[in-house]
Amino acid sequence: MGSVTQGNIYMPPVTSGNARYPMRLAFDTPQPLEIKPRDIIDYGAFRRRFRKDETESELHLAERFHAAKILFERGNEHVYAEVPLRTEGTLPGSPARITADLCGVSRGELTLAFCERWPPTEELLEKLSVVEKAANARAVILYPSSASLPRFLRTRSEHKKLDFARFPWLDEPIGDAFREVMEMVELLANQTRVRMLTPLLERGFRKRDYRRVINPKLLYENLANLLESGIIDEAEDESYRLTGLGLDLLGEYLAFLERVRRVIERETTQPRGGES
């Protein structure tokens, strides 16, 4: 069988002689709905573009948003939503058809993402069986709580090409995770500390640099807090610099503030429903 091209996706030809994986999966639509990296920067924008309809729960939509992030982080060059697929290279007859919540594509290899809220259903198990037999596909399941994990793990014993990812926050350890996050948010939700940190994005600052712009009492109190948190450290030249953790956290925090600002600006400038 020859190669298959779906839009800008190249599917390598089906090869014979693979006893374990005798067939492949290919897109069953000429125009799959593509998710771009920019679409996963802002959940609100993702929601407006990719929500299927009013019946889709917010949890399932949030899972799809998180799944798209995972697929890009795993190196997929293209990610698509609600992808219908069909089998090729099977015995004569009607090809099997399945739909994945998302599908990542990397060099002709497919990663199908299934966003689940309940223990595995018969429909999901049938889809996983198709993936297991395909030469060019594997699957990842997003599940919302560790309570469902034991049954998913039993599924994995039968499906070797299957990974799991837990949707964050919706679990018993949420208390610990939430506390750690809130401690960092409280550390950064302070005007003096942010004024101390943002210059470090360009260069190191010494105490004398800070004393020019910050009250010395506030300076020493906040330096101690930032050093203890691991966000900054003191270099050999006695300047303070962002650590790797600090660079990541400050970047994410500033990006978060900007996203919140845009949401507030959008909601306050647009007329609300029912208003003239």
Per-residue pLDDT, averaged over 87-115, amounts to 88
pLDDT, one tens digit per residue, over 34-50 is 999 989 987 878 888 99
4 pLDDT band (50/70/90 cuts)?
Answer: very low
Per-residue pLDDT, averaged over 164-178, amounts to 62
Q: At 61, which helix (H) or strand (E)?
A: helix 58-73
Domain range list for the chain: 4-166, 174-269
Return the number of other C-beta atoms located less than 10 Å from residue 222's C-beta.
20
Per-residue pLDDT, averaged over 232-245, amounts to 93
Confidence at residue 274, expressed as pLDDT on a 0 to 100 scale: 47
210/275: higher pLDDT = 210
The verdict on domain 4-166 having CATH code 3.40.1350 is: yes
Which fold does the domain 174-269 belong to in CATH? Arc Repressor Mutant, subunit A (1.10.10)
Confidence at residue 8, expressed as pLDDT on a 0 to 100 scale: 43
pLDDT, one tens digit per residue, over 187-201 is 888 889 999 999 999
The pTM for the full model equals: 0.60
The 3 state secondary structure assigned to 160-221 is CCEEEEECCCCCCCHHHHHHHHHHHHHHHCCHHHHHHHHHHHCCCECHHHHHCCCCHHHHHH
Strand partners, 240: 205, 234
Percent of the chain with pLDDT over 70: 78
18 pLDDT band (50/70/90 cuts)?
Answer: very low
